[in-house]
Structure 1
Amino acid sequence: MKNSRKHLRAHIANFVSVFLVFALGFVAALPESVQAQPHDTLLAAVDAVRAPGPNFGFEIDVTVPDGNKFSMNVLVKDQSKSLVRYVKPVTAEGRALLFVERNMWVYVPGTQRSLRISPQQQVLGGLASADIARVVFSLDYTLDKVIVQPDGRRLLTLTGVEGAASYARIDLLIEGKTPNPLSAVFYSASERKVKTAYFEAYSEVLGRQRPTVFRVVNHIDGDRETLMRYSNFVLKTTPDGWFQPAQLKRLQ
């Protein structure tokens, strides 16, 4: 049993990869202007840029630092749930990851049940699973300060909610007259800069401009990069039963 569990965790480390930055906590789109918005409204507006609504699906292609590539289908339900199913490569096909509120499970074909893992667990690229599965700032972080830069862009200082966030602080840079995110710098509790993420390739997606590429530079691992490309967004409502740990095996 001990060796089996160790083997399963090895699978998790290899396949719970960077897949889902947009996947959870999505809210309906808010007005483009961020002038004179309260902090909570501004942070919600930033989250809304990355998602078309509370219920939708999309596809993602991920290239990790060692050059390996993964393809996944993602379903989002009621803002706070997501289901990720691996499509490629063949060796990863059938694996699934479920995130409900702040709880996460992984399923690997051939095992008897889904295994619960910590949202703070480190995965490929040196990223915590919670940050990958849901960098949804308004659920796990509070906006403490907004600084207007000389060029008009805004620097938002976010503080992590204890027990929920994987990083102590995020410095989030957004555009001046819109809530479009440009980059985010993530810090540990010791104020160490852990990673920098860039929101790129803005395109028209379901009614507004949204980033379709997310590039992450891992400063703990020699500034190696992970690249995520998002496509085929569609509004859809997925049955509630799909978001149950016991169902992951049956969804294959």
Structure 2
Amino acid sequence: MKKMLLIFSFIIFVFNLLTAQEKEKAQPTPANKVLSKYTKEFAVSLLKGVDDSMYPKIFKAKMSMETIRKGRNPIKFVYEVYSKGSTKSLMEIVFPARDKGKKILLLDNNLWMYVPDVSRPIRLSRNQSFMGSTFSNEDVSDSTWEDDYDPEITDEKGDKILLTLKAKRRDVAYKQIDMWVNKETKVPIEGVYYGLSDKPIKKIYFFNVKEIAGLLRPLDMRMADLLEEGAYTDVKLLELKELESVPDYKFDITQLGR
């Protein structure tokens, strides 16, 4: 009888252990505790500072992008961007030759792609991969985190603060982003992106911080795909010029072919 009880107890122990492991694997998006020492207003201002550190309000830029995936040839692009505020940006691919002239337009919350020899612009999903990279169309469209996410401060380590960003709308590509930020410079350091299933799906790193156009900015970034081992995309800021204005025709969907 004692032997049967021992066997039964062992079975219960193993079952509970396996159940606990499964729960750990299926752990949902972290419900990070808000640090009460910081106000909501400070969290919002910090996120605004992070957005400002990425790009000026109105600018022209040139960037390179390279995507690495195991067993595949690297995918390389060079593109130029015109941006005006957080709701208007135009990206045009200038390299390689086979993709030259393709354009992506952000207008309000809508994304459109223009392909030469195709009669009409194609509407894009915000969470769709951009040109086979680990970035989504939303990531490269220059919409700001402040526009799309509600911030809370949930951790602090020395001069680093953890901003937990929760999506304001259902059409935003990520449900939550946990972003470590330098408290003094307001430059982002790294972040984890969570999908609608509450699991971490991407991790971004920011490098090569230099002063350009009046602010410290990360000139390089890497987006790693956590669901595909060894897959990542590097983006390098090659040129950046702050502008006083950009003519509205640049963001006119009927003018993309010109």
TM-score between the two structures when normalised by the length of structure 2: 0.78
| 1:80 Cα deviation from its structure 2 partner | 1.7
Tell me what 1:139 maps to: 147
CA distance 1:127–1:68, shift in 2 (3 Å): closer
Tell me what 2:137 maps to: 129
SS of the aligned residue for 1:132 comes to: coil
Q: How many residues align?
A: 215
| 1:202-241 equivalences in 2 (<5 Å) | 202-236=209-243, 237-241=245-249
1:55–1:79: 8 Å Cα contact kept in structure 2? no
Distance 2:256 2:107 in 1: 13
Aligned equivalent of 1:58, options 58, 61, 71: 61
CA distance 1:223–1:141, shift in 2 (3 Å): farther
| 1:204 Cα deviation from its structure 2 partner | 1.7
SS of the aligned residue for 1:122 comes to: coil
Distance 2:141 2:229 in 1: 23
SS of the aligned residue for 1:94 comes to: coil
Tell me what 2:49 maps to: 45
SS of the aligned residue for 1:69 comes to: strand
| 1:221 Cα deviation from its structure 2 partner | 1.7
Considering only CA atoms, is the larger Rg found in Structure 1 or Structure 2?
Answer: 2
1:126–1:220: 8 Å Cα contact kept in structure 2? no
Distance 2:54 2:167 in 1: 20
Tell me what 1:22 maps to: none
Q: Which amino acid is 1:111 matched to?
A: V
Runs of 4 or more above 4 Å deviation? 34-37
Q: Percent identity?
A: 26
| 1:1-252 equivalences in 2 (<5 Å) | 38-52=42-56, 54-65=57-68, 66-123=73-130, 124-134=132-142, 136-149=144-157, 151-236=158-243, 237-250=245-258
Distance 1:152 1:128 in 2: 30
1:144–1:158: 8 Å Cα contact kept in structure 2? yes
SS of the aligned residue for 1:41 comes to: helix
Q: Which amino acid is 2:147 matched to?
A: L
Distance 1:204 1:35 in 2: 29
| 1:158 Cα deviation from its structure 2 partner | 0.6
Distance 1:206 1:126 in 2: 28
SS of the aligned residue for 1:147 comes to: strand
| 1:36 Cα deviation from its structure 2 partner | 9.3
SS of the aligned residue for 1:129 comes to: coil
Structure 1 unpaired stretches of 5+:
1-33
Distance 1:229 1:45 in 2: 21
SS of the aligned residue for 2:139 comes to: helix
CA distance 1:140–1:35, shift in 2 (3 Å): closer
Q: What are the superposed Cα offsets for residues 60-119 of structure 1, whole Å, 9 maximum, x if unpaired?
A: 011112412111110001332110011111001111110112101001111112111121
TM-score between the two structures when normalised by the length of structure 1: 0.80
| 1:194 Cα deviation from its structure 2 partner | 0.5
Distance 1:85 1:195 in 2: 25
Identify the range of structure 1 (138-147 vs 122-131) with the bigger mean alpha-carbon deviation: 122-131
2:134–2:233: 8 Å Cα contact kept in structure 1? no
1:114–1:249: 8 Å Cα contact kept in structure 2? no
Q: Which amino acid is 1:244 matched to?
A: D
2:134–2:223: 8 Å Cα contact kept in structure 1? no
Q: Which amino acid is 2:154 matched to?
A: V
